[in-house]
Structure 1
Amino acid sequence: MRYSVSCLVTRCLCLAALLSVFAGGPLSLRAAELPDKIDFNFHIRPIISDRCFHCHGPDNETREAGLRLDLPDQLGETVDEEAGIKYVTPGNAELSEVFRRISSHDEYMVMPPADSNLTLSEREIALIKKWIEQGAEYKSHWSFIPLEPVQLPEVKQTDWPRNRIDWFVLKRLEQEGLAPSPEVSREQWLRRVTFDLTGLPPTLEELDAFLGDESPEAYEKVVDRLLASSHYGERMAVDWLDLARYADTYGYQADVYRAMWPWRDWVIDAFNQNLPYDDFVTWQLAGDLLPEPTREQVLATAFNRHHRQTNEGGSIEEEFRQEYVSDRTQTFGTAFLGLTLECSKCHDHKFDPISQKEFYELSAYFNSIDESGLYSHFTDAVPTPTLLLPEEDKADQLKSLNTQISAAATELQTVRESESASFEKWLANRNPDETGLEKGLVGKFTFDEIIEAEEQKRIDNLATPAQFGKMSDDPEHIDGYQGKGLKLSGENNFRTDAGGNFNRSEPFSIALWIKADHRAERAVIYHRSRAWTDAGSRGYQLLIEDGKLSAGLIHFWPGNAIGIQAKEALPVNEWVHVTLTYDGSSQAVGLQLYVNGERAEVDIVRDKLAKEITGGGATEFTIGQRFRDRGFIDGEVDELRIYIRELTTIEVKQLHDGETLNALLAKPGQDLTEEEREQLFAHWLTHHSDHYLQASGKLTSLRKQHNELIDQVAEVMVMKELAEPRTTHVLYRGAYDAPREEVTRGTPASLPPLAEGASRGRLGLAEWLTSPEQPLTSRVAVNRFWQMFFGQGLVTTPEDFGSQGALPTHPLLLDDLANQFIDSGWDIKALLKEIVLSATYRQSSLASKELYARDPDNELLGRGPRFRLSAEMLRDQALYVSGLLIDKQGGPPVKPYQPEGLWEEKSSAVYTRDEGEGSHRRSLYTFWKRTSPPPAMITLDAAKRDVCTVKRQTTATPLQALVLLNDVQYIEAARGLAVKAIEQAPEDRNQQLTWLFRSLTSRYPEDRELELLKQVFEEQLNDFRKHPENAAELLKQGDHPVNTEIPQSEQAAMTVVAQMMFNYDEVVIRR
């Protein structure tokens, strides 16, 4: 079939991009300027991805004419059968429609079309033409190709390589006609490697020891020492905190504190213990799903809870819950696959073979935890799921209490069984008029009379007169079930503080008559809480949901609560007696619903209550209305009873009909059925058995102790799978309220499939990710580790290994390192050791003009790396050399110096600095507030951590120099360093300045440098002697006490020298 010209124009909208690549413009480019062998991935794909994939790539929505240039089958389709023309005809550019289009001078035929504003260079055209002539070999995208063993290349300078890395680097340099740079000095190498592996500079003692060690193992001994240092884990953790978007606050508007630091400490420990990378990843993705997981394995899953969260009024809970799921999915893609999955949230990826459906199949793995889209506004409840982290002594106490509670529950059952004989004696002499329904009654409201008080109307409490009832917005006083009752509008209420502030260890019962005039989707009958939209609104409640009664006790909904719902709908347009009883067990089976005296069959909705239900700010038991909830519209209520004990079944019946208990008490013993005897036995135990009451009181007391103790225990957000996976849908345009096709868990088809029989949960995903067959995981990880040492990865876009990302500068080296990483058992320390002991790493950062001109970005690795120290390293260096650094690992975040008022600009919070130790910890322990990160660190390019960050931006601004000069933290450090320098040799200025210089640069100053330092010192000394008040003012900066033995003018002058040195290139730049 032949296509018309107009059809071809439409179908090949972007093919001209290829054609202009192949033939457009003059094709006189010399062959010598092109590679001998054209590789599709490294020479062709980048061109068509950038110019053609938007219209002819993976995205269905933007594809023109149904043509995909990312699929080899379509490239080979016939365009003109008679003429033998295909889109790409291997070996013949003249018979390739792509070539014909881009070589056309017809404005209607040429591609890319003029209105696309896209063009191809002469070299790009020649590259694609040569590719066609060489056979047009197509390859899958380079990063999706499985890893294969790599052979060492042959090189000329065989005495240069120190390990496998160097052979690949040297081969590339020799191909470019270049040679490696000379080896860096031992001093600079030690400074370089010490910063790289610990984030701190070497001490002078370490420097002298290394310089004095002439053994062949000197370098290796240094590396082993650094890798064994606890500072190693702290340095490694910084990059991982960026990647995991770790912060100490929730983000968004309120941005209040949340305790996630135990996970940060786990990361430090994991690096220090050299946890294999596959385990490191697996624990963070699915540690909770491992067989009998340890506390550390569950804690590791906090990785997926570091996303921002909101509690802003008016926010839609499901919208933000879906946002959290999306964040986890995108972070998974960036952190472990090096892919921009976020592009597929709203549509098929425009450049990579990731469809929108596949995005949601992957997100289904992260969509099944018992979480809320909103965290608590009224309480500090930790959003569920959570892990309790008791300290060792509290853990022992809790374990002991659990044992005692179990024993007390067994004892109670034993007492119950042993009391049969006593019950029979009572049964023979029982009093038929003694119901016992006044026992434990703290609230009795008949609603028969509304009393007009001076301040407000009230309703008497016949059980506890001092705790009367109040009303808001005047509920209507109507004929009730018995006498008078109240009719509610949904906006008004009845309230009382009559004993309703129950904690989770206290049994209680609440009974009342209600009348609903319609089957409500949702209605609040009563509660003691603040607001249902607040996931942490602690308390208890009785609702109508989908026409059915629903009850619950809540610490944080949904994951830290117990809840039940009646199977049958609540009758409407009739009075119904409803009783809720609770036994104090914190278990859903301890909640019972009764409807008209009969126990209702219920479904258990939630069954994990681990912390207190009080303390949420609710002060009163309320009927009919709740803040930001649907009230009991046109609902009627009457005869409210509140008990501080669990009612028995027969007592509930008595409250309902007023006669069942009396009738059974009067019935002859021989006429009682087995069920009736059992009901009377339960009644007798509650009212007459001293042994039973004593055992029951003991159990309640132990539960109360456990409750009070566990309420002090810290929690951290973690992952925990729902019993049944939540349904996941493709969301149209990514909108939470526009679900389309239902999807199940799955991985992208462009990557290896899940192993046969693999778990379909997060653990199966982690196993898939760390499988040796997975082409991305090890490449992505190795690339990021390489970036630590060279400032950029072998792939300079660590966040994007897809079509729009950079190509690897040394693809065989990347694959060789990835293979080694897997073969070593994913040994991180072994990989880092290999890198820092290479000749490549040992090169000087100084290079010839020719090398700088040929390779300004050092992609060829012909010289040592040179880049500014990170924000954390600069601050930690200042504290370390000054002797102010508190070398303490882990613990809650600290608040060092920062300008006043910054927090207040963003929220109502006030920043209160930690004095002393808290101002001198390592920077990774600094409190990280998302809406107002530490300003000095942000100025020095620290990541904001709102999203997963795998490479920090690098800027150069005057503000950075001003921070190092004027920030109180650096002034105080300069003071400390100045005192240490003077104390080295009180009478020898040269020695003082030499010690200071060497402490900061790891080398001796040259004569001209020393003279300059002396000049600055003398000038400042003279000035401070003339103006001693200026010296006193300078030395007041910071908490560190002023040395009283050294003249203040001398201290101040040396402080200025230290301040100047903090800005010195060799101190700021890691060479």
Structure 2
Amino acid sequence: MKTRSARPLYQYLPLVGFLIAVSSPAETSPRTKIDFNRDVRPILADNCFACHGPDKAKRKAGLRLDLRADATATLDSGGRAVVPGDPAASLILKLTAAENEEDRMPPKKTGKRLTSGQISILRQWVIEGAEFKAHWAYLSPERPPLPPVSDSTWGKNQIDRFILSRLDKEGLKPSPEAAKHALIRRVTLDLTGLPPTVSELDAFLADSSDNAYEQAVDRVLDSKAYGEKMAMHWLDLARFADSDGYHADVPRSMWQYRDYVIDSFNRNKPFDLFTLEQLAGDLLPNPAVEQRIATAFNRNGMSSTEGGADPDEYMNKYVTDRVNTFGTVFLGSSTACTECHDHKYDPFTQREYYQLYDFFNRIPERGLDNDPAPPFIKLPSSEQSERMAKYTNEIAQLETDRRKALDRQSDELSNNQRAWETAHRHRIEAGWQPLREITTSAHSGTQLRRLDDDSLLSSSPPVSGESYEVSGIFRGRELSALRLELVPDGSLPAGGSGRSTNGLSAISEIRLEATSANPAQEPPVAEIEWGGWSSLGPFKAASTKEIFEKGFLPETQPDLSKSYEGGTLKWKQQQGWKDGAAWDLSGENHVSFFHRKVISKSARFARFSAGGDGGFQVWINGQKVENGKVFRRVAAAPDDIVVLLQPGENTLLIRAHHGLGTYGFLFSPSKEPVSRAPVEFARVAADRSEKDSPSSALIDGKTDTAWRAEGRRTAILVARSPIPFSAGVRITARIQFAGDQPMGRFRLSASSSSGFAELAELPQSHQTTLFASPSENSPASRDALREFYREQFDAETKSVVTRLAAARKSAKDLDSQVPTLRVMEDMAQPRETHIRVRGDYRSKGEKVSAGVPAILPPLSSKENVSRLTLAKWLVDPQHPLLSRVTVNRYWANFFGTGIVKTGNEFGSQGELPSHPELLDWLAREFIEGGWNVKALQKKMVMSATYRQSSAVRPEHLDRDPANRLLARGPRQRLTAEMIRDCALDYAGLLDRKRAVGGPSVKPYQPPGLWEEKMFGGNKYEESKGPDLYRRSVYSLWKRTVLNPTLMTFDAPDRALCTEQRSQTCTPLQAFVTLNEKGFVEAARVMAERVVREGGQTLDDRLTYACKLVLSRPPSAQERQILAATHHEMFSAYQNDLTAALDLLSTGESKRAEDLNQLDLAAWAAVGNVLLNLDEAITKP
């Protein structure tokens, strides 16, 4: 009787559990040599490495089992875990087989226990000498010989030898070749993401030549759709998206990177160059724009613009994301856990993680930045480049013309300029009246003493928070400006003009109130004529916040002839509105506008009271009334508001806000003359103004800004409009100081002169020139003022300057429209990189420099290492991982699962390869073939393995249900993008001839989804025309609100690198293909195509429809069912034409009104049935 040996390891390990499904309890000869990587490492990795593996921080008893020297060393107890050749002395066997739970390893608390079969494997391994091997994935692949097979006639290329050899061992036979229609559909979907056209299908079926299939493969490899399909998975890996991801998930411009990927696949760019460009394209010698675009691979990660976030935290997130993505995409290894500690299962240390980190920690980025986030490049289109060149040439010519005009000699211009300068200097120096009848007070109680030159002086020590109040009479006809002069004094510190210890002053704010010197002499109210009211509204607001913040019309220039809200709201005269009586208004969360003309015989103040049940704002002649209550919530008592009227016609506009409940508004002009009013300053002119202490700080209403001055300084505060009090003005100035820097000696005077506004509007450098005497001006300042004068007042020069400004603006506007792209770029002085203790970005440990894991080959040089060094190291032909990981990824694309099922984990926690020799053979073939992606993929799809029928036989379900041994052809559901794209293509809505690339588009999605889900009220606006039906690779990818159709079919949000998408089967998916607008539209537009192109008979049209959707004609039973469906729906729509028309109006594409609408609706129903067949969304 034959003795049954111990079962092979793979029947017991979860790590290689896939082999349970594909293998029967086969007998293994006791003489079969144990292989460490195949048989032993998985046992140790799953059960022992967590406590006895690479992570020294978690290591127990000082025992490490992944290295021979450590595993065989003498422990503190005197024993040895592994004694080669002596199982009785090997503690690993004693402890794993212990009967006592307290002694047994792994400990009971882990929930793990080795099976007898696993212990037998370890025992046999020890007996055979306990040979250790480096992990298979970390050894450079070598090309193995082709294995012997049972049938040398089966197979198309070398791939099939490896597959058949394994099938022979498992006692399975390959399946026959798939039917031609299934084969052309399979390879076309796999290589382009689209079905074959009916003409392509018919041509292939009619071609009986030996190379018909190869010609079809070459054709689809050469199509632009190939690159669009191949890009989809790479964009998952590169975590490409059109939004930032964090916080508000704001949009970003990255689509040029997507186009680079598509173009690279279409051009069959060698994969080593593809890798080099993405990791270090910017560091290549004289990098092309395309190579800089490629580096956006490392800028695709999520980023934040949140104001309250810690930039250092997010900088760390960005760099760790790059390291983790690098590990997954290029090493097939999960490196993320080594951010915090040494890897528990693989020989990757935390120190090595931060050595990789250092490669990606050198770009001049900030933790928080809006798009375009530096570093970035601008990528103009050819049309934009041509226009920019035109503007550049135009600007150069106009600058030459400007120089000629400025250099032109003209006595008249010189005389006019002197007169202009003299007028301004006279305005600065003359016509000022010091305030009379002055009274003063200071917050600190210090005394301000009036000197003979009308200046005020306090020599008291400074105090923090000081303020002065100075009041005095100005006898001018109207107040147009106030002059503040700081005067040095010997009694003050450093002989300055301030009381601070260094003699400086810091004035943060000056507020002025004007009072009539004699109210009885002010003009009567009868001089004001209040016009009739007009109203506009109510405008509906979405929220209380929007009531106050949304702009419904330009308040500064209301146009009573315009209508709003699509013509539903217009200005309406309110004949019944009377002043002094409340107006009843209706609505909830709304805004209304009231308008009237006010006529005054002279410049004067007017007062009115206003109030209501909500807030309101007031504009007079386009100027918002600034009296401290911009947004009011008025209660019972109305507010008194003072406005300054100009002679003639004035415009009064009120914006009233209302939230909930009843609403009324009251307006009542006052009959009393105005004798007191605040003075609003428009601008400040000064002899000196610095960026960090501008003179505008005197009137900006902010106490945290200040005009800082030393020595003798002058500032002129210009009133927005002259203050007209007939009997003179009492001015009260309230002056607030910053810190402990009050003025010591100063003088206030007032003027009625005009022209101060022009002075205050001059650039500060020219103000400084004019405040000084001509003899004090430098040649440079005089030349600058001369140029300025001519540009402003000489017609010839002004014309050139105007055209130059227009050209520059056009160039700037064009430049702002040029797309940008975030890219990589190294800093001149790299940042230091430190290990982050426990992964905490705030806790810096040992400083490290760039390097690679010791388990992998070393860098070619340790000097001046960069991302380019890393990239070249990666694509070295002897590198063990890149080629394996990449061919495994392409294998999974065609066969559903990689040779290594865990494509993102080639380490100890990953599954063993189902065909390890084939994996290495493909890796060497890929490298030695020049990293030729199309050649590699062609070899895969040309294999007999790929061409097998996907029909499942009983022995498949019994021995290989997951098809890991590939005894049948691959059959998988299409990806989310392919399902949508195929539906569009069946209908003819997708334009196959459209050029590759362009900005992302917005397909259908439920209305209001962004508004509901997104912070900040982002609004989704669907694309129009052909953009609405572009391939899904071009669809806008918003991380926090992914397109629901794509999300339902398992498209990832791309917040992180995605190696393999999950695949679910849910009722929601059926709802999408049945009811989603895009699929219903596809069904009804496909119906038009079937009627127009499918022939005249029902049978011909059914055949055509099935060839469109299924790439084959219908069976007799299917034909019968579909014909009955057409008849049934035609009859139903005869009784309900409205339903038919509703169906045929779905979507944005136009309804075919020239066709029979009932017949078309019936065919749309047939199309809907076909689109919902499993076969329509599955690769055959």
Give the structure-1-normalised TM-score.
0.75
Report which structure shows greater RCO (CA 8 Å, sep ≥6): 2
How far the C-alpha of 1:983 sits from its partner, in A, is: 3.1
Residues 872 and 527 (structure 1), Cα distance of their counterparts in 2 relative to 1, 3 Å cut: farther
1:999 corresponding residue in structure 2: 1108
Of 336, 339, 357, the residue aligned with 1:345 is 339
The CA deviation at 1:406 is 7.7
Tell me the secondary structure at the aligned position of residue 999 of structure 1. Answer: helix
Q: Does 1:886 align with 2:991?
A: yes
Give the match for residue 1017 of structure 1: 1126
The 3 A distance-change label for structure 1 pair 266 and 462 is farther
- After superposition, the Cα gap between the structure-2 partners of 1:838 and 1:920, relative to the gap in structure 1 and judged at 3 Å, is same
Structure 1 position 839, deviation (Å): 0.8
Per-residue CA deviation, residues 708-740 of structure 1 (Å, 9 max, x unaligned), is 432232212111221111122211222222222
**Could you say if the C-alpha distance between residues 304 and 406 of structure 1 is closer, same or farther in structure 2, counting changes exceeding 3 Å?**
farther
Where do 1:310-709 residues align within 5 Å?
310-376=304-370, 381-399=371-389, 485-486=507-508, 498=683, 511-512=689-690, 575=710, 647=765, 706-709=811-814
Structure 1 range deviating more: 100-109 or 293-302: 100-109
1:935 lines up with 2:1061 in the alignment: no
Deviates more, 1:46-55 or 1:914-923: 914-923
Shift of 1:699: 8.4
Q: CA 1:943/1:81 → structure 2, altered by over 3 Å: closer, same or farther? A: closer
Shift of 1:34: 7.1
CA distance in structure 1 between the partners assigned to 2:226 and 2:1056 by the alignment: 25
Is the contact between residue 504 and residue 708 of structure 2 (CA under 8 Å) also seen in structure 1? Answer: no
Deviation at 1:107, TM superposition (A): 3.2
Query: Offset of 1:86 from its aligned partner?
Result: 3.0
User: What secondary structure, in the 3-state scheme, does the structure 2 residue paired with 1:868 have?
Assistant: coil
Provide the residue aligned with 2:69 in structure 1. Answer: 73
Alignment deviations for residues 273-310 of structure 1 (CA, whole Å, 9 cap, x no partner): 11111111211122122222111111111111121222
Q: CA deviation at 1:688?
A: 9.8
2:267 maps to 1:278? no
Shift of 1:978: 1.9
Distance 2:142 2:1066 in 1: 45
Alignment partners' CA distance in 1, 2:269 and 2:695: 51
Q: Does residue 41 in structure 1 map to residue 37 in structure 2? A: yes
Secondary structure in 2 aligned to 1:742?
Answer: strand
Task: Report the CA distance between 1:892 and its aligned residue.
Answer: 1.8
Equivalence for 1:307: 301
Specify whether residues 737 and 987 from structure 1 end up closer, same or farther in structure 2 by C-alpha distance, changes over 3 A only. same
Equivalent residue, structure 1, for 2:903: 798
Q: 1:437 to 1:833 in 2, by over 3 A?
A: farther
User: Is 1:989 the equivalent of 2:1086?
Assistant: no
Alignment of 1:771 onto 2:876:
yes
Unaligned runs of 5+ in 2: 1-11, 14-24, 433-454, 456-466, 473-478, 485-496, 511-627, 629-678, 715-734, 748-756
1:53 aligned onto 2:49: yes
Deviations along 1:185-213, one digit per CA (max 9) or x if unpaired, are: 11111000000011000112111111222
- Bigger mean CA deviation after superposition, 840-849 or 477-486: 477-486
Matched AA of 2:243:
T
Q: Which residue of 2 aligns with 1:601?
A: none
Change (3 A) 1:249 1:886: same
- 1:91, 1:160 → 2: CA distance? 44
Give the aligned residue type for 1:388. K
| CA deviation string 1:494-536 (max 9, x = no partner) | 9997599xxxxxxx99724989xxxxxxx999899999xxxxx
Greater alpha carbon shift after TM alignment, 116-125 vs 1035-1044: 1035-1044
Paired residue type of 1:73? A
1:131 corresponds to: 125
SS at structure 2 position matched to 1:910 = coil
Q: Tell me the SS of whatever aligns to 2:507.
A: strand
Contact residue 509 and residue 701 of structure 2 kept, 8 A: no
In the TM superposition, residue 227 of structure 1 has moved relative to its aligned partner by 0.8
SS of the aligned residue for 2:171 comes to coil
CA distance in 2, matches of 1:411, 1:746: 58
Deviations 1:782-826 (A, max 9, x none): 111111101111111111111111111111111111111111211
Q: Is the 1:448–1:485 Cα contact (8 Å) retained in structure 2?
A: no
Q: Please report the RMSD computed on the Cα atoms of aligned residues, expressed in angstroms.
A: 4.6
Partner of 1:234: 228
- The change in CA–CA distance for 1:911 and 1:513 in structure 2 (over 3 A counts) is closer
User: What are the Cα deviations for residues 107-156 of structure 1, in whole angstroms up to 9, with x where unaligned?
Assistant: 33221122221111222122222222222111111111112232211222
CA distance in 1, matches of 2:41, 2:692: 71
> How far apart are 1:349 and its partner, in Å?
1.5
Deviation at 1:898, TM superposition (A): 1.8
Identity among equivalent pairs (%): 40
8 A contact 1:80–1:86 mirrored in 2: no
Q: Which residue of 1 aligns with 2:554?
A: none
Q: CA contact under 8 A between 1:55 and 1:63: conserved in structure 2? A: yes
- In the alignment, is the contact (CA less than 8 A) between 1:728 and 1:742 conserved in 2? yes
Superposed CA offset, 1:552-611 (max 9, x none) = xxxxxxxxxxxxxxxxxxxx99959999xxxxxxxxxxxxxxxxxxxxxxxxxxxxxxxx
Q: Aligned pair 1:944/2:944, yes or no?
A: no
Q: CA deviation at 1:998?
A: 2.1
Query: In structure 2, how many angstroms separate the alpha carbons of the residues matched to 1:261 and 1:839?
Result: 38
SS in 2 for 1:309: coil
Aligned CA distance change for structure 1 residues 680 and 1030 (closer, same or farther; 3 Å): closer
Q: Distance in 2 between matches of 1:750 and 1:440?
A: 79
How far does residue 360 in structure 1 lie from its aligned partner after superposition? Answer: 1.5
- Once the two structures are TM-superposed, the CA of residue 959 in structure 1 deviates from its matched residue by 1.5
Give the CA deviation at 1:486.
2.9
Distance 2:29 2:308 in 1: 62
Shift of 1:397: 4.0
Q: 3-state DSSP class of the match of 2:689?
A: strand
Range moving further from structure 2, 236-245 or 187-196:
236-245
1:897 corresponding residue in structure 2: 1004
Greater shift in the superposed pair: 158-167 or 834-843: 158-167
- Secondary structure of the corresponding residue to residue 845 of structure 2: strand
* Letter of the structure 2 residue corresponding to residue 947 of structure 1: L
The alpha-carbon distance between structure 1 residues 1021 and 374, as it changes in their structure 2 partners (threshold 3 A), is same
From the superposition, tell whether residues 842 and 35 of structure 1 become closer, same or farther in structure 2 (CA, over 3 Å). Answer: farther
Do the aligned partners of residues 135 and 636 (structure 1) sit closer, same or farther apart at CA in structure 2, a change above 3 Å counting? farther
Letter aligned with residue 511 of structure 1: S
Deviations 1:847-883 (A, max 9, x none): 3211221111111111111110111111111111111
Residue type at the aligned position of 1:1070: K
Deviations along 1:295-344, one digit per CA (max 9) or x if unpaired, are: 11111111111212222342122211211111111111111111111111
Is the partner of 1:857 in helix, strand or coil?
Answer: coil
Larger Rg: 2
Indicate the SS of the match to 2:834.
strand
For residue 808 of structure 1, the aligned residue among 869, 889, 913 is 913
1:749 pairs with 2:854: yes
Deviation at 1:776, TM superposition (A): 0.8
Letter in 1 for 2:1002: K
- Please state whether the residue corresponding to 2:39 is helix, strand or coil: helix
Provide the C-alpha distance between the structure 1 equivalents of 2:1078 and 2:691, rounded to a whole number of angstroms: 67
Mapped to 2, the partners of 1:735 and 1:497 lie a distance apart of 52
Structure 1's 642 and 834: CA in aligned 2 closer, same or farther, altered over 3 A?
farther
| Separation (CA, whole Å) in 2 of partners of 1:713 and 1:463 | 47
Q: TM-score normalized by structure 2?
A: 0.68
Cα shift at 1:910: 2.3
- Structure 1: where are the runs of 5+ without partners? 1-16, 19-28, 453-458, 465-476, 501-507, 516-522, 532-541, 545-571, 580-623, 626-630, 666-675
Report the CA distance between 1:268 and its aligned residue.
Answer: 1.1
1:298 aligns with 2:292: yes
Is the Cα contact below 8 Å between 2:689 and 2:695 reproduced in 1?
no
Aligned residue in 2 for 1:588: none
Closer, same or farther in 2 for the Cα pair 1:731/1:191, shift >3 Å? Answer: same
Deviation at 1:176, TM superposition (A): 1.4
Q: Structure 2: which amino acid aligns with 1:358?
A: E
